[in-house]
Amino acid sequence: MTFKNPIIGLCQQATYQISATRVDQCPPDIGYEVAFAGRSNAGKSSALNTLTHASLARTSKTPGRTQMLNFFQLDEERRLVDLPGYGYAKVPIPLKQHWQQHLEAYLGSRESLVGIVLLMDIRHPLTEFDLLMLDWGKASHMPIHVLLTKADKLAFGAAKNALLKVQRDIKKGWGDNASVQLFSAPKRQGIEEAHKVLAQWLGLLEDEAANDVE
């Protein structure tokens, strides 16, 4: 019998909910929430759109376009959050400081946050921002799942080698708090694996198990 991940149907009905520049503008802090983080131009918006089979997040060849906390509702209890991208030099310093302040406030106070999907360009993984997020996740006991994006930009063997290296580095520095996979939005690579992580974090696998028992 083939297992059908319940996250797929929810992702297909994902809708834009609200954008917030401050934590007090976020939706009620209830239910389950998974946030997507990454440096500017790491492919965060493309990954969100691919995982939801929709054009929810705005994609652009100009890095740094995501300047707010953007919330997308899956159902009454579950949300995905597109966090501001970091590291783009042309963004004014005051705006960078605003993003940092409110991102830290969001990460530190959001009770419904159950996991972080951290996107890294496979050609430039484990940047300073990535390390900060991994450190924060470990200190906060917040699981992090890394998508090595743009895997199609490398040959198969090179992509696998990059994956193995990042897996080794993360295991050494952050133990079991973080997991890693390959991902490519254009090739639709890694979608099923990412969906399984989302389903687990969002409490859907527990619901599925309960329904099986009934």
The tens digit of pLDDT for each residue in 15-62 reads 999 999 888 999 999 999 999 999 888 999 899 999 998 777 654 444
Segment 157-170, tens digit of pLDDT: 999 999 999 999 99
Cα angle 105-107-109, degrees, rounded to a multiple of 5: 65
The string of DSSP letters for 4-39 reads --THHHHHHT-EEEEEESSGGGSPPS-SEEEEEEEB
Q: What is the pLDDT of residues 73-107, one digit of tens each?
A: 999 999 999 988 776 545 555 656 656 777 888 99
Rg of the chain (C-alpha set): 17
Query: For the chain, which residues make up each domain, given as ranges?
Result: 4-200
Quote the pTM value.
0.88
**pLDDT at residue number 41:** 85
**Four-way CATH pick for 4-200: 3.40.50.300, 3.40.605.10, 3.30.9.10, 3.90.1150.10:** 3.40.50.300
Give strand pairing partners of 116.
35, 144
Average pLDDT, the chain: 86
Contact 23, 109 (CB under 8 A): yes
Q: What is the mean pLDDT of residues 96-121?
A: 86
d(CA 54, CA 50): 7
What pLDDT score does 62 carry?
44
pLDDT above 60 for 213: no
